[in-house]
């Protein structure tokens, strides 16, 4: 019985981590820039699904949660004028770009310890969706 309860607790905790996939529609500030804060941590990004408008400047304020494990944020979409590869730190960093093509572009952490699964394989990824 104790094993079943512990198993259910782990299952519910895992479901809670991945349940927050609600698209975050980035608001436009008065100066015309879309600003969003992104937190990266032990195999997660928050928010995981970010929606921005095409041909409008975007500023992502990125940082990591935790001290020891290194993380990055990578967005490789040159066809949309988005090319990002930044190491995350506890101090926020600003990433600026202007998306030029509608579509869904993955962002992820490219870290991979030797002999273990990559951070992306462990769920540290999300979607940047560019809309009209």
Q: What is the pLDDT of residues 103-113, one digit of tens each?
A: 999 999 999 99
Q: In this structure, are residues 88 and 71 in contact, taking their beta carbons and an 8 Å threshold?
A: yes
Q: Could you give the CA distance from residue 76 to residue 78 in angstroms, rounded to a whole number?
A: 6
Residue spans per domain, the chain: 24-130
Q: What is the pLDDT of residues 3-53, one digit of tens each?
A: 444 343 444 444 444 456 899 999 999 999 999 999 999 999 999 999 999
Q: Which CATH architecture has domain 24-130?
A: Sandwich (2.60)
Prediction pTM value: 0.83
């Amino acid at each position: 019985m104790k094993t079943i309860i512990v198993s259910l607790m782990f299952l519910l905790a895992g479901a809670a981590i991945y349940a927050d996939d609600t698209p975050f529609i980035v608001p436009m500030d008065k100066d015309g820039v879309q600003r969003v804060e992104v937190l990266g941590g032990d195999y997660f990004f928050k928010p995981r699904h970010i929606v921005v408008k095409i041909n409008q400047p975007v500023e992502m304020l990125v940082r990591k949660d935790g001290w020891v494990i290194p993380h990055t944020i990578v967005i490789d979409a040159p066809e949309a004028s988005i090319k990002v590869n930044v190491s995350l730190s506890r101090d926020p960093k600003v990433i600026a770009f202007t998306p030029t093509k509608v579509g869904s572009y993955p962002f992820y952490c490219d870290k991979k310890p030797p002999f273990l699964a990559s951070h992306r394989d462990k769920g540290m990824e999300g979607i940047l969706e560019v809309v009209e």
